[in-house]
Amino acid sequence: MRLERLVIEAGNDSFTLDLHPRLTVVADMGRAERESLIGEIIGALGGSRSGVHAELEERSGRHLAVFRPSTGRHRVIDVDRARDVTASLCDDEGQCDLLEHLGLTAATARRAMRVTPGDLATSSDRGRAVEVLAGLDQRRVWAAAEALQSAEGDLATEALALGSAPEDAALIDDVEERHAAVERAAELVEATRRRTFVISGLSTVAALPAIRLAGVAGLGLIGIAAVSVLASWIARNRLLKATAAEDRALAQAGAQSYLGFQLQRVNCLIGDDRGRRALMGAAGQRRSALAEWQQLAGDIPVDWAIENRGEIETAARLRRDVEALAALSTGAEASASIDGLARGLIARLAEARSIAGEGVPLLLDDPFEHLDDGVKIELLELLGRSAGDPQIVLLTEDETVAGWARLEAIAGGLALIEPAAEHEEIELRSITL
């Protein structure tokens, strides 16, 4: 969603704010004026402000005009079709609330849309996931994602051909692995039992003569016998644990015994050995692809990553810009400052872009006000390159920011709004209602 124009009525006066689709810098805005204008913008979208009108463009390309007269019914007009679409955008109480259709309240919209200096240090779980994937080798990430997606498709195809399900292969693997563990534990118990029987028997028989001949030293043979019995007990305990694990796997598969599992779950596969091999081969490929993906991305779901690929690749490009900026900075402290702030900014851009699949404008409340001019300019350059999705409105009273915006506005990359001296009183009164 992009705001194109905001009109605020104040008695006989009005304040019109024409917004650039990418980046608008509104200069000479004190703290109180910034607070008020942010409230007016959010109120225009949420329906809490009468006398505030807005024109906007949805991500689909539809242009809407929102009229909120001080008296009378609020309306929303589809500009291109010249059609009243108020009914489709009203809430249960008949209020034209565009934020509600994005799953936002006025409070959550303010948190999502407004960025202050302190906000640059925070990010959401989604922002962290995007940041993690954006920091990886993009070719390797997407090759692994596509390989896993392809392997899952192949597994589903093979399972469908056998009248089975992809989960069956995983269950077969789990049961077979547990059963193999039981067999290994049983073999260990048997081998340990034979060895400990011989050792403990010989030790016990030899203990009495040894005690007579060597006294207390002969008790060592009794200790050897005890250790042998302990080793046998440990091996037996491992077998019991392995058996319990197999029983749990069998219960999950809906069987009471390993033989019952073979008959119940894979009877159809036994009759089609070629199909069984194909299914298990596909399951193995999927397992390898999943291991590769998890090694790269941890517990981030591959489907989520592919769905948000555009956002992740954009963040990766921004990260490269951040690293380039940090490399050009003088001093490790300045480099660390730029890196941390820029990553916080990237996270907020990602959050605003992703809201309800529509996105909302990001309102920057003089977030760079306490930074050195060198760091400030580099972050502004990053902001200028990344603006547009989402749309950004930067409110500031910082002359360094205004000076940078004047130069950038010449090339048309942004719009700069500076209150004219003779109209300043009217404009400030209009936006502080």
Considering the domain architecture, whether residues 151 and 297 belong to the same structural domain is answered as: yes
Domain boundary among 301, 329, 355: 301
Inter-CA distances, 105 with 65, 75, 115, 187, Å: 21, 19, 17, 64
Q: What is the pLDDT of residue 369?
A: 82
Q: Which amino acid is at 200?
A: S
Domain boundary among 276, 301, 326: 301
State the angle between helix axes of 138-161 and 166-214 in degrees (0 to 180), rounded to the nearest 10: 100
Window from 18-22, 45-49, 265-269 with minimum mean pLDDT: 265-269
Considering the domain architecture, whether residues 181 and 103 belong to the same structural domain is answered as: no
More confident residue, 404 or 129: 404
Considering the domain architecture, whether residues 225 and 371 belong to the same structural domain is answered as: no
pLDDT tens-digit profile of 343-377?
777 777 777 877 867 788 999 999 888 788 888 88
**Could you tell me which residues come within 8 angstroms of residue 64 by beta carbon, excluding any fewer than 6 positions away?**
55, 56, 57, 58, 76, 77, 78, 79, 85
Residue 264 token pair: 């119940």
pTM over 0.85: no
Considering the domain architecture, whether residues 193 and 308 belong to the same structural domain is answered as: no
Q: What is the pLDDT of residue 224?
A: 58
Considering the domain architecture, whether residues 134 and 164 belong to the same structural domain is answered as: no
Considering the domain architecture, whether residues 23 and 127 belong to the same structural domain is answered as: yes
- d(C-alpha 307, C-alpha 305), whole Å: 5
Most confident of 210-214, 233-237, 379-383: 379-383
Considering the domain architecture, whether residues 295 and 179 belong to the same structural domain is answered as: yes
pLDDT tens-digit profile of 315-329?
787 777 766 665 655
Judge whether residue 167 has pLDDT over 80. Answer: no
- d(C-alpha 169, C-alpha 176), whole Å: 10
pLDDT tens-digit profile of 293-320?
999 988 888 888 888 888 788 778 777 7
Q: What is the pLDDT of residue 303?
A: 86
Reported confidence tier of residue 123, pLDDT bands at 50, 70, 90:
very low
Residues in the chain: 433
Domain boundary among 253, 281, 301: 301
- d(C-alpha 148, C-alpha 289), whole Å: 5
Considering the domain architecture, whether residues 37 and 52 belong to the same structural domain is answered as: yes
**377 and 400 in contact (C-beta within 8 Å)?**
yes
Q: What is the pLDDT of residue 317?
A: 78
CATH at 81: 3.40.50
The chain-wide mean pLDDT, for the chain, equals 75
Q: Which amino acid is at 53?
A: H
- d(C-alpha 265, C-alpha 255), whole Å: 8
**406 and 37 in contact (C-beta within 8 Å)?**
no
Considering the domain architecture, whether residues 331 and 210 belong to the same structural domain is answered as: no
Considering the domain architecture, whether residues 15 and 83 belong to the same structural domain is answered as: yes
Full 3-state SS string of the chain: CEEEEEEEEECCEEEEEECCCCEEEECCCCHHHHHHHHHHHHHHHHCCCCCEEEEEECCCCCEEEEECCCCCCCEEEECCCCEECHHHHECCCCCECCCHHHCCCHHHHHHHHEECHHHHHCCCHHHHHHHHHHCCCHHHHHHHHHHHHHHHHHHHHHHHHCCCCHHHHHHHHHHHHHHHHHHHHHHHHHHHHHHHHHHHHHHHHHHHHHHHHHHHHHHHHHHHHHHHHHHHHHHHHHHHHHHHHHHHHHHHHCCCCHHHHHHHHCHHHHCCHHHHHHHHHHHHHHHHHHHHHHHHHCCCCHHHHHHCHHHHHHHHHHHHHHHHHHHHCCCHHHHHHHHHHHHHHHHHHHHHHHHHHCCCCEEEECCCCCCCHHHHHHHHHHHHHHCCCCCEEEECCCHHHHHHHHHHHHCCCCEEECCCHHHHHHHHHHHCC
**368 and 376 in contact (C-beta within 8 Å)?**
yes
Judge whether residue 336 has pLDDT over 70. Answer: no
Q: What is the pLDDT of residue 108?
A: 86
Range(s) of the domain holding residue 193: 142-301
Q: How many CB atoms neighbour CB 297 within 10 A?
A: 20
pLDDT tens-digit profile of 78-92?
999 999 998 888 776
Considering the domain architecture, whether residues 281 and 170 belong to the same structural domain is answered as: yes
Average pLDDT of span 208-221? 54
Considering the domain architecture, whether residues 77 and 119 belong to the same structural domain is answered as: yes
Q: What is the pLDDT of residue 432?
A: 35
- d(C-alpha 114, C-alpha 13), whole Å: 27
Average pLDDT of span 213-242? 61
Total structural domains within the chain? 2
Strand order of the sheet with strand 392-395? Answer: 114-115, 362-365, 392-395, 23-26, 415-417
Window from 96-100, 369-373, 404-408 with minimum mean pLDDT: 369-373
Percent residues over pLDDT 70 in the chain: 66
